[in-house]
Amino acid sequence: MTFAHPTRDILLDIARKLPPAAQILAGICEMLHDVNTDLDQIAGEIRKDAALAARVIRISNSVVYGGAGGVATVEEAVGRVGFAEIVRLVGTATVNRIASQELKCYHVSLDLLREALLMHGLAAEITAEHLGMNRNTAYISGLLRGLGTMVLDRFGAATMPPNLTYDPSEFETYTKWELTRFGVTSTSVTTMALDDWHFPEEVVTAVELHLAPPPGIDEAERLATVLNLAGSISVEHGRALPGDVLHWTSPAELADRLGLGEWEYRNLIQRAATEFELQKPALY
């Protein structure tokens, strides 16, 4: 049994109906490149999505940021965390907003989906920072690389017969299953959405390449390599989605490509675990 593959327009329409939090996160990162940006401007960007704003306030009052309470406005929330942590604050809130339901066609629970997105973002950020790359760009790229799975799952949940959902005994990766069932990969859908939302070209290209990063030296290729290595870190902590695991199987080669020694890589694994445990409460 087969069913009709979605068109590009259908997939973009589904992506555009996702909460605008991801687009707001991209806008904040762009604003942070401008030295004249102040915290009030960032607060104004966050307020474009009332639910995101409420989530940001809640997280800023949580144990993640000291649990002091007393924050009642977005301005107070961004003032509490400051420029250094604002992307993480909004990023965690973004995961909560866009990852709002289980992936029925992929057989992935909501908790695993959220935790996989957060771990990938943090692992990418920590690795990029260690390498002297832009930490915020890496964090967003890792955090949003799974957007396409959510779009395809929403399409499939409404149209796909149960016997055609992901079966690891038949397909070793999501990519092979997606091409068979949808005629497109979730990575392609992610890059399609990111491009539609005017994300930086570096991010779009890195996500497009990250499942099999080329051994290049430009920023997008290096970021793609960082994203793949972050997947290996996610596997180490049991936070990788099952059908992605086979894409994250060359950590030693990729670490060497990035100039990371074995001790440095193991240290990144530990740092990612520490940061994840600190940030995880904010997902719920």
Contact criterion met (CB below 8 Å) for 221 and 141: no
Q: What is the pLDDT of residue 67?
A: 67
Per-position b or e across 223-243, b if 16+ CB within 10 A of its CB:
bbbbbbbbbbbbbbbebbbeb
Nearest by Cα to 57 from 46, 73, 43: 73
The domain made up of 1-18+102-284 has a fold known as Hypothetical protein af1432 (1.10.3210)
Packing angle between helix 110-130 and helix 74-98, nearest 10 degrees? 120
Whether 174 and 241 have beta carbons less than 8 Å apart is answered as yes
Model pLDDT, residue 2: 57
pLDDT tens string 46-77: 999 998 999 989 888 888 877 667 889 999 88
Q: Report the C-alpha gap between 46 and 25 in whole angstroms.
A: 8
Bridge partners of 108, per DSSP, are 103
pLDDT attached to residue 63: 80
Task: Indicate the residue type of 178.
Answer: E
Report how far residue 39's alpha carbon sits from residue 220's, in angstroms, rounded to the nearest whole number: 29
Residues 6 or more apart in contact with residue 55 via CB below 8 angstroms? 93, 96, 97
CA nearest 85: which of 70, 102, 99, 66? Answer: 66
Name residue 243's amino acid. G
**Domain map of the chain by residue range?**
1-18+102-284, 20-99
Closest by CA position to 178, among listed 190, 192, 194, 165: 165
| The two three-digit tokens of residue 198, written as one number | 């005017």
Tens digit of each residue's pLDDT, the chain (284 residues) = 457 899 999 999 999 999 888 888 888 888 888 888 888 899 999 999 998 999 989 888 888 877 667 889 999 888 888 877 888 888 888 898 899 999 999 999 999 999 999 999 999 999 999 999 999 999 999 999 999 999 999 999 988 999 999 999 999 999 999 999 999 999 999 999 999 998 989 999 999 999 999 988 899 999 999 999 999 999 999 999 999 999 999 999 999 999 999 999 999 999 999 999 989 988 88
Rounded CA separation 224/13 (Å): 27
pLDDT tens digits along 71-105 = 899 998 888 888 778 888 888 888 988 999 999 99
Helix, coil or strand: residue 2:
coil
> Can you tell me the distance from the alpha carbon of 277 to that of 4, in angstroms, rounded to the nearest whole number?
42
